[in-house]
Amino acid sequence: GKERSQELSRLMAERFKPDMMISAGFAGGASEDATPGDVFLCDRLVAVDGSPFLWGKEEAFESSSVEMVQRFRQAILGDRSGYQVGSCITVPKFVSNRSMKEWLGNTFNVKLIDMESYWVSEVAASFRIPFLTVRAVLDPVDQSVPRFIGETVDKGMAVRTLRSVAHLATNPTDAPQLIRLSRQVSVARAALTQFLDKIVAARTISDRR
């Protein structure tokens, strides 16, 4: 959420004084061209806060990373394939149902949904640290997922397993859906890891020149 992501980002900026900050993780799809395992560089960040009833264009926060993404692509990634460029909306609560994902995508013209990118970008800007958002799609826009997934996807295997078992005990018909999600987590994690490895390798080579 907002407070935790800003607190951790501020701590990292103060303690390590990085020359660049990257917010990397999973995101939900908000458009049909965002499929599981797709990696995005976000060139526009939008955020809404508070109750979903207050999520409107007039109340939204917005920042542009177009110039930063362009510079990064030219200097580090070049013309390599394996990623897309798109916009992302940061929301305070995990969005689990298809209809809300579609509404967010259409209303705010975004491809992705996450819960922290915009707020991390604010901290980076306050420290004048270049910032980039990298997201791998976990669940596509047309897929509704159990709400507990949002609370466990970044936690350890033991926590995810316990939550899954508890959920299946009361919702046994969701077993195929959880199996599908497990595969999507593996695909998204592998794609994100591979892309971040490319960034590290490219920056290492660039720094040696």
At 126-173, the pLDDT tens digits run 999 999 999 999 999 999 887 666 555 544 433 344 454 445 445 655
pLDDT for position 90: 97
Rounded to an integer, what distance in angstroms lies between the CA atom of residue 192 and that of residue 186?
10
Domain spans of the chain?
Answer: 2-208
State the pLDDT confidence band at 91, using cuts at 50, 70 and 90: very high
Cβ-count burial of 66 within 10 angstroms (0-12 exposed, 13-18 middle, 19+ buried)? exposed
* Residues 127/15, Cβ–Cβ less than 8 Å: no
pLDDT for position 171: 61
pLDDT for position 10: 97
pLDDT for position 111: 98
At 21-57, the pLDDT tens digits run 999 999 999 999 999 999 999 999 999 999 988 899 9
Looking at every residue in the chain, the average pLDDT score rounds to 85
> Which residue did the predictor score with more confidence, 1 or 118?
118
Rounded to an integer, what distance in angstroms lies between the CA atom of residue 17 and that of residue 185?
31
What's the topology of domain 2-208?
Answer: Rossmann fold (3.40.50)
R_g (Cα) of the chain, nearest Å: 17
